[in-house]
Chain A
């Protein structure tokens, strides 16, 4: 019987395709682990709370309410969005929340598994995949609520609505890729996590989350270059059946993110031992 042989040494395998093959093989072999971890976390999260699923969307809902109130009370004056403002604001904050959650997901999954990572050898890719499972679960709850809003405000049904989940998957891919690149460094320094969460808060204001892109000025230029804009606007267009102006930009983002995601996965894979070494066990 031929036994599988493992060799541990300082030098890394730099042949990127061989590394990728190993990584994918590990993802495949740990598919049960990834699912089990996601199920475990989701179950535990809801078992210890009465409001349960409510917490999945309470964040974006409050942000939306604040803006709805600011707008309706005339405190701030926003340009016309073309659709009922509550739906506009809520769809924005919801999509934003999904992207932010995706960026944080790899780091938080890895952080939560710190204890076992320094004790047991298992395919670490499972952590990333289980993070994606959790994102898909949480996002689908958010989307259901958004649909309630859409029909409540009489937007009505559009065939493009079927493309909406595809856009969400794109958003999760985009966020997870960024998150994966950040994870190794943010596992070492706590500063990174703080900078990212603060940066994202600021970034929200140069993204058409709760207001539309202004007709002119510097803000218009910044917003149009901002990749987050493309994702949010394209997703929104799918819900409301408007013509997607940023569709091309969105497709470019996804096409860039696909190879980048695998690159990030490899970076993550070879970084883990260095992180484990510096973690308390």
Chain B
């Protein structure tokens, strides 16, 4: 028990922080706080006019080797929480206890002066991060090699590309040996190769310390976190271990729907889009079950042949899968040139991971050579599906089914 207690590197108890909505008032409160501060600031703080709780009653503990992923939408209070953990601002209620060296990957290249050379700025940045001269002397070559800018190291930093600057900043920061590491969305740096390198460094670091990471990228969060906290308007909405899809599902639900937009050349109208027979805006779908799409079209001019394409987008608006009549070698015919037609398509098993996906629908006319010509109708976010019913969650959008064999327990 004692040992367990020792392993808790970060302990947050009943933490609250308030902010003021109005600048002038905020400054005036600042002056007042400056003076009350001198006398220890023991009085209980209540909300003064125009103030609100940016954080309210936050509690959690973190041990060495654990990684806490903080998710939530803009303004949920994640960065404020990080600032308090980093000791930059003080809480208004509650207490934070942190053991050991705290490292923050929040701003890369702090203390850089653009006129000075890369080498000089390694010393500036290192000093700000708390290294001694001897430490930097010993690490300077490792830093330059890691950043891969030996050729330009004696050039003023203002001539660096932004990628080079960030690489140098990360290379210095990567030399930290913290017990508690705070990361705020800095991982999207540099090109693909460098990003990979950063991840490797981080994964090494994470093993040795307690990590708190803020990110909007769910794959990233699920990849490295052991625990996930979802925040909304300054409070913890959900606190789950990372493999549980719940917090992420909730996060996506809070994201709000994407807005349906539509355009076409006016020759057809899509009257009805049904998913598994349902006409709702968001249709719940069981994982690994069938997906049926039914379209009803009204045609205002004679169209003989057309194609239909449905693209599935994840919440971050990245396309993850497509269903295309052309790819399936299907020509949708309208032989009698009716002014109404219906099209049905089925996917036997939809193996998307749990989460919300939006559907984009494109209907195009085909010419005599079965080549796609005019776009008859294009609807973005025509419907959304919410895949449910699977307890497993991973950071990739699709889950494949495999037939497994194992030579030791073969039949």
Q: Give residues in A with beta carbon < 8 Å to B.
A: 3-14, 32-33, 36-37, 40-41, 43-44, 47-48, 115-122, 184-185, 188-189, 267, 270-271, 273-278
Cβ of A36: which chain B residues have Cβ within 8 Å of it? Answer: 123-124, 127, 133
Given A44-B116, A121-B86, A278-B26, do A185 and B45 touch, yes or no (CB 8 Å)?
Answer: no
Given A8-B95, A14-B40, A270-B38, do A121 and B102 touch, yes or no (CB 8 Å)?
Answer: yes
Nearest Cβ in chain A — how far from B213, in angstroms? 16
A6 with B89: CB separation less than 8 A: no
Instruction: Say which residue of A3, A33, A118 sits within 8 Å of B128 (CB atoms).
Output: A33
Task: Compute how far the CA of A44 lies from the CA of B86 in the bound complex, rounded to whole angstroms.
Answer: 30
Binds A, one of B55-63, B107-115, B159-167, B384-392: B107-115
Binds A, one of B27-35, B69-77, B240-248, B331-339: B27-35
Instruction: Say which residue of A7, A32, A37, A188 sits within 8 Å of B30 (CB atoms).
Output: A188
Cβ of A188: which chain B residues have Cβ within 8 Å of it? Answer: 27, 30-31, 34
A48 with B89: CB separation less than 8 A: no
Cβ of A37: which chain B residues have Cβ within 8 Å of it? Answer: 111, 124, 127
Nearest Cβ in chain B — how far from A248, in angstroms? 32
Asked if B48 is an interface residue, CB under 8 A from chain A, the answer is no
Given A119-B106, A120-B107, do A8 and B127 touch, yes or no (CB 8 Å)?
Answer: no
Asked if B198 is an interface residue, CB under 8 A from chain A, the answer is no
Cβ of A277: which chain B residues have Cβ within 8 Å of it? Answer: 19, 30, 89-90
Instruction: Say which residue of B83, B85, B99 sits within 8 Å of A4 (CB atoms).
Output: B99
- Residues 86-105 of B, flagged 1 when their CB comes within 8 A of A and 0 if not, give 11111111111111111010
A9 with B31: CB separation less than 8 A: no
Cβ of A117: which chain B residues have Cβ within 8 Å of it? Answer: 88
B132 with A32: CB separation less than 8 A: yes
Cβ of A278: which chain B residues have Cβ within 8 Å of it? Answer: 26-27, 30
Task: Compute how far the CA of A32 lies from the CA of B124 in the bound complex, rounded to whole angstroms.
Answer: 10
Given A10-B93, A32-B133, A116-B110, do A3 and B99 touch, yes or no (CB 8 Å)?
Answer: yes
Nearest Cβ in chain A — how far from B316, in angstroms? 25
Chain A residue at smallest Cβ distance from B131? A32
A116 with B30: CB separation less than 8 A: no
A116 with B128: CB separation less than 8 A: yes
Given A32-B133, A44-B115, do A11 and B102 touch, yes or no (CB 8 Å)?
Answer: no
Asked if B42 is an interface residue, CB under 8 A from chain A, the answer is yes
Given A5-B98, A10-B41, A47-B115, do A115 and B110 touch, yes or no (CB 8 Å)?
Answer: yes
Asked if B404 is an interface residue, CB under 8 A from chain A, the answer is no
Chain B residue at smallest Cβ distance from A8? B96
B37 with A274: CB separation less than 8 A: yes
Cβ of B37: which chain A residues have Cβ within 8 Å of it? Answer: 12, 270-271, 274
B91 with A119: CB separation less than 8 A: no
Cβ of B27: which chain A residues have Cβ within 8 Å of it? Answer: 188-189, 278
A121 with B104: CB separation less than 8 A: yes
B128 with A8: CB separation less than 8 A: no
Instruction: Say which residue of A4, A11, A47 sits within 8 Å of B116 (CB atoms).
Output: A47
Cβ of A274: which chain B residues have Cβ within 8 Å of it? Answer: 30, 33-34, 37, 90
Asked if B129 is an interface residue, CB under 8 A from chain A, the answer is yes
A4 with B89: CB separation less than 8 A: no
Asked if B179 is an interface residue, CB under 8 A from chain A, the answer is yes
Nearest Cβ in chain B — how far from A115, in angstroms? 7
Asked if B49 is an interface residue, CB under 8 A from chain A, the answer is no
A9 with B124: CB separation less than 8 A: no
B42 with A33: CB separation less than 8 A: no
Asked if B130 is an interface residue, CB under 8 A from chain A, the answer is yes
Cβ of A9: which chain B residues have Cβ within 8 Å of it? Answer: 90-91, 94-96
- Residues 3-35 of B, flagged 1 when their CB comes within 8 A of A and 0 if not, give 000000100000000010000001100110110
B128 with A122: CB separation less than 8 A: yes
Asked if B84 is an interface residue, CB under 8 A from chain A, the answer is yes
A10 with B127: CB separation less than 8 A: no
Task: Compute how far the CA of A163 lies from the CA of B4 in the bound complex, rounded to whole angstroms.
Answer: 61
Nearest Cβ in chain A — how far from B155, in angstroms? 13
Which of A4, A10, A13, A36 has the most C-beta atoms of chain B within 10 angstroms of its own C-beta? A10
Cβ of B34: which chain A residues have Cβ within 8 Å of it? Answer: 184-185, 188, 271, 274
Cβ of A33: which chain B residues have Cβ within 8 Å of it? Answer: 127-128, 130
Task: Compute how far the CA of A27 lies from the CA of B26 in the bound complex, rounded to whole angstroms.
Answer: 30
Task: Compute how far the CA of A43 lies from the CA of B87 in the bound complex, rounded to whole angstroms.
Answer: 31
Cβ of B111: which chain A residues have Cβ within 8 Å of it? Answer: 37, 40, 116
Asked if B281 is an interface residue, CB under 8 A from chain A, the answer is no
Cβ of A43: which chain B residues have Cβ within 8 Å of it? Answer: 116, 120
Chain A residue at smallest Cβ distance from B99? A3
A8 with B31: CB separation less than 8 A: no
Nearest Cβ in chain A — how far from B333, in angstroms? 60
B99 with A12: CB separation less than 8 A: no
Task: Compute how far the CA of A273 lies from the CA of B127 in the bound complex, rounded to whole angstroms.
Answer: 21
Given A188-B31, A271-B34, do A5 and B124 touch, yes or no (CB 8 Å)?
Answer: no
B285-305 at interface with A (beta carbon < 8 Å): none
Nearest Cβ in chain B — how far from A5, in angstroms? 5
Cβ of B30: which chain A residues have Cβ within 8 Å of it? Answer: 188, 274-275, 277-278
Task: Compute how far the CA of A10 lies from the CA of B98 in the bound complex, rounded to whole angstroms.
Answer: 15
Task: Compute how far the CA of A117 lies from the CA of B87 in the bound complex, rounded to whole angstroms.
Answer: 11
Nearest Cβ in chain A — how far from B118, in angstroms? 13
Cβ of B45: which chain A residues have Cβ within 8 Å of it? Answer: 10
A119 with B104: CB separation less than 8 A: yes
Nearest Cβ in chain A — how far from B10, in angstroms? 10
Q: 4 tightest A-B contacts by CB?
A: A119-B107, A14-B40, A36-B127, A3-B100
Task: Compute how far the CA of A275 lies from the CA of B89 in the bound complex, rounded to whole angstroms.
Answer: 9
B106 with A120: CB separation less than 8 A: yes
Knowing that A8-B91, A117-B88 are A-B contacts, what are 14 other residue pairs whose CB atoms are under 8 Å apart, sorted by A's residue number?
Answer: A6-B97, A11-B40, A13-B40, A32-B127, A40-B111, A40-B116, A44-B115, A48-B115, A119-B88, A184-B34, A188-B34, A267-B38, A277-B90, A278-B30
Given A40-B120, A278-B26, do A7 and B96 touch, yes or no (CB 8 Å)?
Answer: yes
